[in-house]
Structure 1
Amino acid sequence: MGDSINQRVKQIRKALELSQRNFSSILALSNGYIGGVESGIRRVNGRLIKLIVSEFGVNETWLTLGKGEMFTQNPDEKFTKLVGLFKELPPKYQDVVYQMIDVLLKVKE
């Protein structure tokens, strides 16, 4: 018997090396909600599927059916692309990006 969609949500979180707290924070959901999903108490609904797919680049077919690769794009490739784009920005815009990240991190807490 294969993994359930709830178990695949947990596999995604672990593959991204995120705590339940950080994972739920990125998705703007409560830690308890994600805990309930991972333990099978809560169902994985369409909204959660869309959030996970869009936020983490997860293959929707893998998440819903367990077929194919977990990610549509390797998370390391996504990071590499982001760094490349960042390097193309003039220094004054790089500073703005730093400031925005700092604000986002503070809001996330």
Structure 2
Amino acid sequence: MTINERIKQLRQELNLSQAKFAKEISISNGYIAGIELGKRNVNDRIVKLICIAFNVREKWLKTGEGSIFEEQANQLSELATSTFKELKPEYQEYILKQIDQLLDIQHREKGK
């Protein structure tokens, strides 16, 4: 089974029309139809969009190995990481300081 066929399988399993599936990942209906027909290649951007939007394991999407869906914690972690990488360095520093403060609060709450 090709990645194109797995995308069609996923869409059908989610019970989504091509239009709704395409809208969720911000591509055109025609593009998703082309993917499913094997007329369009699937690039890394589309793979990432599908994985994030539908909680799909990237390895399954690319190779067919393993289970289709990710656990929720992994999806959140990947989303946080990819978003963090897009930030300017000074914003990254700010986020890290905020995380440290939240960890301190959490540790104090556990001590109560």
TM-score of the two chains, using structure 1 as the length reference: 0.64
> % of aligned pairs identical?
47
| Residue 16 (structure 1) aligns with | 14
C-alpha distance in structure 2 between counterparts of 1:60 and 1:21, whole Å? 22
| Residue 65 (structure 1) aligns with | 63
Q: Which amino acid aligns with 2:67?
A: E
| Residue 77 (structure 1) aligns with | none
C-alpha distance in structure 1 between counterparts of 2:56 and 2:10, whole Å? 8
* Structure 2 gaps, min length 5: 73-112
C-alpha distance in structure 2 between counterparts of 1:61 and 1:55, whole Å? 15
Bigger Rg over Cα: 2
Q: Which amino acid aligns with 2:69?
A: F
Aligned counterparts, 1:1-109, within 5 A: 3-73=1-71
Q: CA RMSD in A?
A: 1.1
Question: How big is the shift at 1:72?
Answer: 1.1
TM-score of the two chains, using structure 2 as the length reference: 0.62
Count of matched residue positions in the alignment of Structure 1 and Structure 2:
72
Q: Which has the higher contact order (CA 8 A, sep 6+)?
A: 1
Question: How big is the shift at 1:68?
Answer: 0.2
Q: What SS does structure 2 have at the residue aligned with 1:70?
A: coil
C-alpha distance in structure 2 between counterparts of 1:28 and 1:50, whole Å? 12
C-alpha distance in structure 2 between counterparts of 1:33 and 1:73, whole Å? 28
Q: Which amino acid aligns with 1:55?
A: A
Question: How big is the shift at 1:73?
Answer: 3.6
After TM superposition, which residue ranges in structure 1, 4 or more long, deviate above 4 angstroms? none
